[in-house]
Amino acid sequence: MIYNKILENIKSNKTAVGLNININSPHLVEFFGSMGFDWVFIDCEHGSMSDSEAENMIRAAELYDMASVVRVAANEPYLILKMLDAGARGIVVPHIDNKDEAIKARNAAKYPPLGLRGSNYGTGRNNKYGSLINDTEEYYKFANNNTILFALIESKEAVENIDEILSVDGIDATWLGPSDMALSMGLPGKNQVQKYLDIVVKKTIEKGKISAATHSGPDQFDEYEHFHKLGSKVLSITSLSLMKQAAINWQKNIRKLD
């Protein structure tokens, strides 16, 4: 069985540190994996990766024991199934605004009796083509427990329905969407958006589930610290923002030489 690095860290009360990548680059996954990152977020909603390209990024993550988490483009069973069969350890489903949408995502991501996920037992890379499986029932149970299903909470409606969303067995975690949250609220002040995000984190932790938070820039460490104190143990940053900041600083220093 292949274990989930995110879950291993959480069980050890450690933060799972990850990278967001929205371009097709298995090499970039390997590059950050070599630095010791615990997991990678492969963005197939805002990224342009094909199914095969995303699968190759999942393979690259496995080289460094990184857990791969894929954000699918929509809450559609066939999209979720493809990425799980490709070996993703977690799925982020966008626009989970109510209980019905949470149930739909759960049914797609979890095997019966919890959900309705179809089986590729013995024929998929997610289970090493059956080579490591001795007991079918044991495998399905392990897969359900080892696969993290994140509900992306990114609207005012979702916050208003957060208790019902979290009540769905099989929704393992929430993922914060600050920018879309602000848009859904009519772009109010930062404090009002923060209040809604905090509600999601607190409710998630109260339910004994996993809270994930991400931000786009390395200069937003205070935001990470804030959510970590509230209980978020799955944190990530956009990989391009890290490289962008380093490039800007280097270029600025070099130009000072003139």
Residues identified as active-site: 46
* Alpha helix stretches (DSSP H) within 156-189: 156-160, 162-166, 178-184
Cis peptide before 218 (omega within 30 of 0): no
Structure tokens at 37: 């990152």
Sign of CA dihedral 105, 37, 43, 198: positive
CA distance 31 to 18: 13
Give the contacts of 29 (CB within 8 A, at least 6 positions apart): 19, 21, 40, 42, 57, 60, 61, 66
